[in-house]
Structure 1
């Protein structure tokens, strides 16, 4: 029988892997052809460096999360896992922040810079990007909870000895 703390950690890691994988798949498959002032174009995630960064960061975190699932409990390497959880949580924060900023400009435009919104012309693409960002935010929240749980699990025995 698994310990409740280990079971919670495993469940959170499974949710995080699923959410990051979903974010990668949804964003990587987002594309749509549209017209803008009689000019035909195809909107895809590779057109925007922030979206590429989002996909790459989530793919890295997915692989990491999958590998950690097979890490034996009680191993002395869990300190390294705790540190890597922090690093990958920060990676998720930065990638989602960049992607959200670009998505906001794509949806609303920026009148001061003269950038027009494009989501009116490529709604399917924008909806897929939104779905990927929601999955990424779910992964981020899960990783933050997982990080807090890991810190608590790591520090609790040390605090009880004091």
Structure 2
């Protein structure tokens, strides 16, 4: 079973590392004055132009790049998706792959849309207890970008399985 989602798991881990590094770099740049002081994360919920919105776009772009990157894990997953699809429908070998591709792309797009939306109220309240007011505005798109990278990489593998 893990062979069918290996590309997504590797992409999710890679996106986690990329999001962590990006967050540290942006906050370091803000602390050292490389980013305008108005971009430093204030302790309010209304952040029209801020570090969280900058990080959201960084997270999304890196997740898309990671999801569309080919490599040995994508090739490995592609081979297993192709084999499983042909076992399920020998008469129409691409039927299961097409269905899987559609579902994976819908999930990836859902994660991208959720990353652009504000975090749920529960996340905002939890963020207030864990750190500054913008914690949820940074963690939410980061988590959603990990889902985007995971499902996007699996969709990429399914697309190559045709």
Q: Which bin holds the TM-score, normalised by the shorter protein?
A: 0.3 to 0.5
Q: TM-score, normalised on structure 1?
A: 0.37
Q: TM-score, normalised on structure 2?
A: 0.37
Which protein has the bigger strand share?
1
Specify the structure having the higher radius of gyration (Cα): 1
